[in-house]
């Protein structure tokens, strides 16, 4: 494999290689090496990195208690590049490549708390049943004016007209063209990196956009989503603005989601298993939905991983508040889009754009798999608005962690060590958040109570 990499790097005159892995928050971690040193590291299996990076909090710290999932010696693990993921990094002047790595212990055992390995384990469970998941993510994001003081609220950026957007402009063509130079560069970068970006549209918020990806295998789409986030941020910086995937960057505006369309096909025949011989919803499809309904609330730390995530999940805000399902209904957590039997799928509308793509996809697939294994029947699909039904999703991260902690089937499927790491990392982030006093508290409590 290193010979293939050597040829690829030589043909493109690559001078440096970024070896990257996604951590728990989906942040790219790793090392940058000169090309020849990278190739020697691949040959010698000596691309080492501390295992502890996989339990970094989003603030850059570590949980206090890590014995359940980390060696107390804080040992290194080996980064093993996945040659299928190598890509040119188009925004550097110096010819540079990036490659996503899997991580293994020096004994050869996989690192159980690596998000990419978690997704691969879930996919193996489907493979053992003769099934292959197919997914298509939709990633929403905001462009915002540069903000160097986190105490100040975010503001929409100035577009070509010289004026910032202030009103909702969903699917506005002229609105999206306000940022045409940035979008052109974004598509060019995606093409250079083999990111299969398809349709872009303007969402409800000012300078809020959505990128749809063509459907494909979960690992490939998770890789693309992971790289797209980085690409969008770099493209935005080139044009003097920020690109953000915060779930709720501005208080009175819609949040940003990562909707995940998903179906299952027969590995041997390629048939969509969500449709029966008569073209109707199959029992497997209904059981899959039943699993999503039962287990997604427990998987919320992977779908809504941050304190800010739960600000998005509010009524009448283009985000779900419960686990109902329906046909072509965007007010519910689980939407069945219209389409022919061969394209039957379910759209999970719960994950936020701030979620780690590997973990959001793994969690969604794992919940559906549990529904198949346990033959869980779904509720009756609803008519009308999901906002007229009770708010049944967790309202904050601490409630979500409690549900996750109690879900033995989900933790078994995702892995005990990984599940313990999730709980430890998110508890540490919660503790850090609790030390911050907000402007709202100072405004309304300082002199009134």
CATH number at 78 reads: 3.10.20.70
204 domain-assigned: yes
Q: Are residues 287 and 152 in the same domain?
A: yes
Position 338 in a domain: yes
136 and 213 together in one domain? yes
How many structural domains is the chain composed of?
A: 2
Same domain, 143 and 236: yes
Q: Is residue 304, in this structure, part of any structural domain at all? A: yes
* Segment (H or E) for 334: strand 334-336
Whether 105 and 136 map to the same domain: the answer is no
Chunked into runs of 10 residues, the chain (449 residues) has average pLDDT values of: 80 97 97 97 95 96 93 94 97 97 96 98 98 98 95 93 88 91 97 95 95 97 98 98 97 96 97 96 98 98 98 95 97 97 97 98 98 98 96 96 98 98 97 94 95
Residue 265 shares a structural domain with residue 302: yes
Res 1: pLDDT: 40
Residue 427 lies in a domain: no
Same domain, 102 and 140: no
Residue 423: inside a domain:
no
Residues 40 and 126 in one domain: no
CATH code for the domain in which residue 257 is found? 3.30.590.10
Residue partners of 310: CB distance under 8 A and separation at least 6: 304, 394, 395, 396, 397, 400
- Do 167 and 313 share a domain, yes or no? yes
Distance between CA atoms of 220 and 137, rounded to whole angstroms? 11
In this structure, the answer to whether residues 178 and 272 fall within a common structural domain is yes
Question: Could you tell me the residue range of the domain that residue 58 belongs to?
Answer: 5-111
Can you tell me the distance from the alpha carbon of 22 to that of 100, in angstroms, rounded to the nearest whole number?
8
Residue 14 within any structural domain of the chain:
yes
| Same-domain pairing of 22 and 52 | yes
Q: What's residue 168's pLDDT? A: 83
Instruction: Tell me: do 37 and 162 sit in the same domain.
Output: no
Look at residues 258, 372, 368 and name the one whose alpha carbon lies nearest to residue 312: 258
300 and 188 fall within a common domain: yes
**What is the per-residue pLDDT for 74?**
87
**DSSP codes joined into one string, 34-64:** EHHHHHHHHHHT--EEEGGGGG--TTS---S
Q: Give the CA-trace dihedral at 353, 356, 359, 365, to 10 degrees.
A: 30
pLDDT at res. 277: 93
* DSSP β-ladder status, 334-336 and 241-244: unpaired
């Amino acid at each position: 494999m290193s010979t293939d990499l050597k040829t690829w790097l030589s043909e493109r005159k690559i001078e440096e290689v970024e070896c990257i892995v996604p951590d728990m928050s989906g942040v790219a971690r790793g090392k940058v090496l000169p090309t020849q040193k990278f190739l020697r590291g691949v040959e010698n299996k000596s691309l080492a990195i501390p295992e502890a990076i996989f339990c970094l909090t989003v603030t850059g710290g570590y949980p206090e208690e890590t014995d359940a999932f980390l060696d107390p010696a804080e040992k290194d693990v080996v980064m093993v590049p996945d040659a299928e993921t190598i890509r040119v990094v188009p925004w550097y002047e110096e010819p540079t490549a990036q490659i996503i790595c899997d991580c293994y212990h020096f004994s050869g055992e996989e690192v159980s708390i690596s998000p990419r390995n978690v997704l691969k384990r879930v996919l193996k469970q489907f493979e053992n049943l003769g099934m292959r998941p197919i997914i298509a993510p939709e990633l929403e994001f905001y462009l915002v004016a540069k903000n160097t003081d986190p105490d100040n609220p975010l503001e929409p950026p100035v577009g070509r007209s010289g004026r910032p957007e202030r009103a909702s402009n969903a699917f506005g063509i002229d609105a999206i063209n306000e940022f045409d130079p940035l979008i052109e560069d974004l598509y060019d970068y995606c093409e250079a990196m083999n990111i299969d970006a398809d349709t872009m549209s303007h969402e409800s918020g000012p300078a809020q956009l959505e990128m749809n990806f063509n459907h494909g295998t979960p690992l490939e789409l998770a890789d693309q989503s992971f790289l797209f986030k980085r690409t969008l941020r770099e493209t935005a910086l080139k044009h003097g603005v920020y690109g953000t995937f915060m779930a709720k960057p501005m208080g009175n505006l819609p949040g940003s989601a990562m909707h995940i369309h998903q179906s299952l096909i027969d590995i041997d025949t390629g048939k969509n298993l969500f449709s029966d011989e008569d073209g109707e919803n199959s029992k497997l499809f209904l059981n899959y939905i039943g699993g999503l309904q039962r287990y997604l609330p427990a998987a919320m730390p992977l779908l809504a991983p941050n304190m800010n995530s739960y600000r998005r999940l509010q009524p009448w805000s283009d985000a779900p508040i419960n686990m109902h399902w329906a046909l072509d209904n965007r007010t519910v957590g689980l939407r069945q889009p219209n389409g022919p039997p061969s394209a039957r799928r379910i759209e999970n509308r719960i994950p936020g754009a701030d979620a780690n793509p590997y973990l959001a996809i793994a969690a969604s697939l794992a919940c559906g798999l549990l529904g198949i294994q346990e033959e869980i029947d779904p509720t009756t699909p609803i008519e009308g608005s999901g906002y007229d039904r009770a708010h049944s999703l967790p309202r904050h991260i601490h409630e979500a962690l409690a549900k996750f902690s109690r879900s033995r089937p989900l933790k078994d499927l995702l892995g005990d060590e990984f599940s313990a790491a999730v709980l430890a990392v998110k508890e540490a982030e919660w503790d850090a958040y609790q030390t911050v006093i907000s402007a709202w508290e100072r405004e309304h409590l300082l002199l009134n109570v």
